[in-house]
């Protein structure tokens, strides 16, 4: 078992056999409200993870973002998460659907949140469509990552949504670096330019968007150093999880 990765939250430290929760270091500030599907998952008013609105009553995120000891609030329509913007909607979670195979480690790290009330869809809040089941994103394609996470490996966190691009990596290269922590069928990994930036602490559950569709959900990076370029960033592969996602939302 690799011991070089861990899960890190903004306001509490929590180790989980290796995965590090992630946000955007470097990159640029997103155009306000240009990504109306983005969700900020918060506990006691503090951002913990990202997520994406996939239906007016469902948000997709990482399973490790759940905290059974605290009540989660989903904030939609936000750009600056420390301001009370008129565009924001604060919605309670009615139910948590963690993938049944998730055991607290690396694999199957995905979760659906059923909202207590449906989101009011407008120009600030819109769901994003899911990819096709049999689709595949080739290596070296540049994809967008976005979130409210750390702007450097040592912090601080960003109050406004930031984004940058990372390139899809060949699965064999991911496996070579991450060994048993990487499942080629369930995960995607990306390479990144340290100057352009990438995901870091605080952005787990956020999307990897290729050709305007989400292809992955942010999972983990190298422990305490999201800027380490020889360790690719890892995402859950949405193509594999589509049957479970659709079945759960229909149920």
- Distance CA(136)–CA(115), nearest Å, equals 30
* CA 202 to chain CA mean position, Å: 9
- The burial class, CB within 10 Å (0-12 / 13-18 / 19+), for 212 is exposed
Please indicate whether residue 239 is annotated as part of the active site: no
Give the residue carrying structure tokens 């995120």.
61
Residue 183's CB is within 10 A of a number of other CB atoms, namely: 18
Is the peptide bond prior to 169 cis by the omega test (within 30 degrees of 0)? no
- The burial class, CB within 10 Å (0-12 / 13-18 / 19+), for 125 is buried
| Closest by CA position to 65, among listed 16, 137, 130, 127 | 16
The number of CA neighbours under 13 Å toward the Cβ of 221 is 30
| Closest by CA position to 58, among listed 128, 124, 148, 106 | 128
Please indicate whether residue 34 is annotated as part of the active site: no
Please indicate whether residue 204 is annotated as part of the active site: yes
Marked catalytic residue, from 204, 231, 233, 239: 204
Marked catalytic residue, from 6, 33, 62, 64: 64
Marked catalytic residue, from 47, 62, 109, 181: 109
Q: Which residues are catalytic?
A: 64, 109, 204
């Amino acid at each position: 078992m690799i011991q070089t990765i861990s899960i890190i939250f903004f306001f509490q430290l929590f180790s989980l056999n290796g995965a590090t929760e992630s946000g955007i270091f470097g990159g640029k500030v997103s155009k306000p409200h240009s990504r109306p599907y983005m969700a900020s998952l918060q506990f006691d008013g503090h951002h913990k993870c990202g997520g994406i609105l996939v239906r007016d009553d469902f948000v997709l995120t990482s399973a490790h973002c759940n905290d059974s000891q605290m009540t989660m609030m989903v904030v939609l329509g936000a750009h600056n998460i420390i301001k009370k913007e008129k565009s924001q909607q604060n919605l309670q979670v009615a139910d948590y659907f963690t993938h049944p195979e998730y055991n607290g480690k690396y694999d199957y790290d995905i979760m659906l949140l059923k909202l207590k009330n449906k989101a009011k869809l407008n120009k600030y809040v819109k769901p994003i469509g899911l990819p096709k089941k049999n689709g595949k994103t080739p290596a070296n394609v540049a994809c967008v990552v976005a979130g409210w996470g750390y702007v450097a490996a040592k912090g601080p966190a960003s109050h406004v949504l930031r984004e940058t691009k990372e390139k899809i990596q060949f699965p064999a290269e991911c496996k070579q670096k991450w060994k048993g922590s990487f499942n080629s069928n369930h995960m995607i990994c990306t390479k990144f330019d340290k100057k352009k930036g990438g995901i870091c602490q605080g952005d787990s559950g956020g999307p990897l968007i290729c050709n305007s569709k989400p292809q992955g959900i942010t999972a983990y990076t190298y422990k305490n150093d999201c800027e380490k370029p020889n360790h690719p960033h890892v995402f859950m592969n949405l193509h594999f999880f589509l049957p479970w996602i659709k079945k759960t939302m229909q149920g």
